[in-house]
Structure 1
Amino acid sequence: TTAGGGAAVPADEKSYGQEAATINEQGARIDIPAAAFDQDFKVKVRKVADVSQLPLAEKSKLISDVVEIEKDKSGEFKKAVSITLSFDKTKVDSNKYDIRICYLDEKANKWLPLSNIKVDLAAGQVSGQTKHFTKFAVIAAEKATVPEQKAIENSKVVKLSDIQGHWAQKAIEELLASAAIGGYPDGSFKPEQNITRAEFTSILVKALKLNVKDGKVFDDTAQHWAKEAIAAAAASGIVSGCSESIFAPDESITREQMAVMVVNAGQLAGLGDNKIFADADQVSAWARKAVAVASAHSIISGYPDNSFRPRANASRAEAAMVIAKSLKLAG
């Protein structure tokens, strides 16, 4: 920030309040709209020197500094604040990687995308919006090879080579028969392979025989192979994004995300005897009701140690079992 006499005033020495302001510090640009917060506050910006202990999803990489932004007053902003970071263009091929500005969810210990992301490849900058301060970075995530799309196209496979005797065999065969799920060209199903958010949504939409509707198209689904299925699911109230503009279609789906989708799809009501898992405190607030309902209806089971593992990734077999069970419940 610049004072009236032209001398730079550090952000943590200047108060921000009702007027719009722009802060340029430590390689980050922070645009704060007018009346964004209900009291004056100071901002502190620093680069995180040691990033070795920070989480990073598989097939993802940091392509910028990690910048921590704090304000001295607690509470979220009333209006979205824009964050812009520069990234190293030499570290990433935009044809092979999705580039996002992300914030660190300290509780979940994972990077999540900001809203309204805009990438300027020529300038090597990416911006997004948030209502809270934390650690921010630019993350490059390898684009998926859409295995489920290829599988669905080959759903004519009648007998799968790798599900005989598998605990999910019956569920897989039921969904295969209705063309909701597919095998691979080599005749396999790959039951233990992780399933993405787009793949799960596509299977669920096919299994429910939902009509494709004009639903929400997220910034990262406009050119995606599962665009129509995701739009149909969004229009039916089954899915929502990781943010207003990001769906993260190629991220592996978690067990708690899966619970929310099937409960929304079946419009299942809560039961009084919510099952309490040993790790119930690890379930995200937005998923607690759905996890309890899905468990009470025996759609999703816990593990032998009485844990639910809400943020564990779901496999293709688990997805098939959950969808098959929810279909039976729907009658």
Structure 2
Amino acid sequence: MGSFANSVHVRSNDSDEVISAIQTILQTDGYEPTDEEPDEEAMWGMPSAHRALHVSQPVNGWVNLLDSDLLGSANLSAELSLQLQSPVMQFFVNDSDSWAYVLYERGDESDGFDSSGGLMGGGMWDESMPETIPFAGEGNMEQKALEAMQQIEAAMPAEIRAIQQKINQGQASQDEFLQLSQWIQEHSRQFMDQFRSDIVHSMEQPKRVQEDLSPHIEPLRPLLVAGVTDERVLKLLDEQAVFAEETLAAFMPLIGVPPIFANLSYRYLEEITTDELAAEGVRMQSHLKYKTDMPLF
């Protein structure tokens, strides 16, 4: 299996401020701090009442995050860019076949790139290609997630469905909230395994046509390390490699992000030693752990 590395990077020299913003956002979303370790579902990015993040000390003007919730990290990235009024960059690797980024500013996506061919804003597919842009593009991942949720709901027994209806009507008790969440955690694995498989297959793209990558330069320019030329950025955006994380590792230093994050996710961090991180100038500051009693869907 290839790599599914993913990470979030906040433009900031104040990790305490970033951590405070994370806490505010997650608690607004119904999460509360816990001492419990993330369960297996959370470690594999599946629906879980648990969510955890590793937060680094600032490195080259970036505070780096590894979030156990891949889908939730997109909303967190947008909210952080809004609350902190600072750019937030989210990186993904898709099974080592391609890599992508989304740049958030003031709560919105200001730029996005997918090396397999997905370009936010369009302009790179010929008329015979599908209009939807997977992964970092126009909602393909969200659609697959919605389908997985619908399958889970369809499998609910009558008593669980009744609890869900009571929740929707604002009439459920705390015990009923917990009962529904426990049922979802126990039965969601098979549906989320299919969801992960669908996402991988949906991102298998036709050969990329020649495209104009120059629109990425303007939003990236304020983030570039001194001395990095437009030509160098464009060369890497156009580069194809057997292992996409290698190209991502070459791109990250252009904006000052340590290249080790091209091979990291929340789960992958378990395979890296503190000394290996330190050799890259990375020191993790906080391991934030949260739990919610709210329904997962």
- Which TM-score band (shorter chain)? under 0.3
Choose between structure 1 and 2: higher helix proportion: 2
**Over alpha carbons, which structure has the higher Rg?**
1
Q: Normalized against structure 2, the TM-score is what? A: 0.25
Q: Which has the bigger relative contact order, CA under 8 A and spacing at least 6?
A: 2
